[in-house]
Amino acid sequence: MRIGTRLRRLSAGLVILGVLLVALFALTLPAIQRWGATDEEVARNLPGDELLTHPLVHWTHAITIQAPPDAVWPWIAQLGDTRGGYYSYTFIENQVGALTGAADYNVVYVNADHIHPEWQDPKPGDSLIQSVLQVHAVAPGQYLLANSIDPSVMNWVWLWHLEPLAQGQQTRLIVRMAIETGPEVANPVMGFMMDIGGFVMEQNMLQGIKLRAEGGFEPGWTEPVEIGLWLMALLVGVMAAVQFVLRPAWLVPLVVAVGAVVALCILTFVQPALWLRLIIDLALLLGVLPIWRLSAQAQQMRPPVPVHLPQG
């Protein structure tokens, strides 16, 4: 293929990627702000709403847990970076903590896999994230409300609210977060980044609380496997994109590359079960097999390069 053709393919691929990302984020962002919550739950006044007036980020998320509130509350009560963790991606939490000075407090995030009696009595003023977030109010068995230690830097309000369902045999966990920043960083780009990054962590937290409250257990290898499957989808997408630019046959690589972008969106935001993540990756890998076969056949059909021996 000529260089001009490859450059046109590269330009077309970048345009397709940009359009696809805009479309995916246009569908995802509205859902991020109310993931799992009903209209009534989104509109409801909850503890902590009075603490902020013009938040840059405002979410209401909810999940139904197949356990009574008294089985869910102990996992909420022991939230905190030096306590039970946040049942989310500890790798990311520790990287963010290193940037925010958590190392100064010798903090290493570890998600608890059982209930600790010594952490079951949170009180206003208790630290949840060192130098950043503290307990503001507690109603045992009903809600835990946190807010910023230093509102002048960032005013952050975070609520975990429990409601009984099905005659007390199920629990509706409603999590509301609101963040208000100074005018120098209160812009759509910052709001977008906080929406995306924060949601990924909170979605995993909701699933982690549900798993533990329902009697489940998260093995230590779960997080590395999830990250590995995400990276595999990314690698397949990059390989398909390279083949789209370099190889004459462009349709299959394009389809696989687009599928990889959609798969990454699902793995990042929906966060399906491990078995479903594995199936998604296997489907992508099966998609790139024809690309490899076509590349191998093209190499075999290419005429040999003539060898000119010196005369004499």
Q: Express each pLDDT in 74-91 by its tens digit.
A: 999 999 988 999 999 988
Mean pLDDT confidence for 218-237: 94
Q: What is the pTM of this model?
A: 0.85
Question: For residue range 29-39, what is the model confidence (pLDDT) as tens digits?
Answer: 888 889 999 99
**186 pLDDT tier (thresholds 50, 70, 90):** low
**57 pLDDT tier (thresholds 50, 70, 90):** confident
Asked if the model's pLDDT at residue 184 lies above 80, the reply is no
Higher confidence at residue 32 or residue 309? 32
Tell me what pLDDT residue 113 has.
Answer: 93
Q: Indicate the residue type of 105.
A: Y
Higher confidence at residue 291 or residue 277? 277
Least confident of 15-19, 28-32, 213-217: 28-32
Asked if the model's pLDDT at residue 1 lies above 70, the reply is no
Q: Which domains does the chain have, with CATH numbers?
A: 3-26+222-299 (no CATH), 33-213 (3.30.530.20)
Tell me what pLDDT residue 192 has.
Answer: 79
Asked if the model's pLDDT at residue 294 lies above 70, the reply is no
User: What's the chain's average pLDDT?
Assistant: 87
Asked if the model's pLDDT at residue 185 lies above 70, the reply is no
Asked if the model's pLDDT at residue 152 lies above 80, the reply is no
Mean pLDDT confidence for 297-306: 55
Tell me what pLDDT residue 97 has.
Answer: 65
**300 pLDDT tier (thresholds 50, 70, 90):** low
Higher confidence at residue 103 or residue 152? 152
Asked if the model's pLDDT at residue 43 lies above 90, the reply is yes
Tell me what pLDDT residue 195 has.
Answer: 82
Distance CA 32, CA 196 (A): 8
Tell me what pLDDT residue 99 has.
Answer: 56
User: In 10 A of CB 83, how many CB atoms?
Assistant: 19
CA distances from 165 to 64, 74, 254 (A): 9, 18, 47
Sorted by sequence, the CB contacts under 8 Å of residue 262 that are 6+ apart come out as 20, 24
Mean pLDDT confidence for 293-302: 55
Mean pLDDT confidence for 140-155: 88
Higher confidence at residue 281 or residue 294? 281
Tell me what pLDDT residue 104 has.
Answer: 57
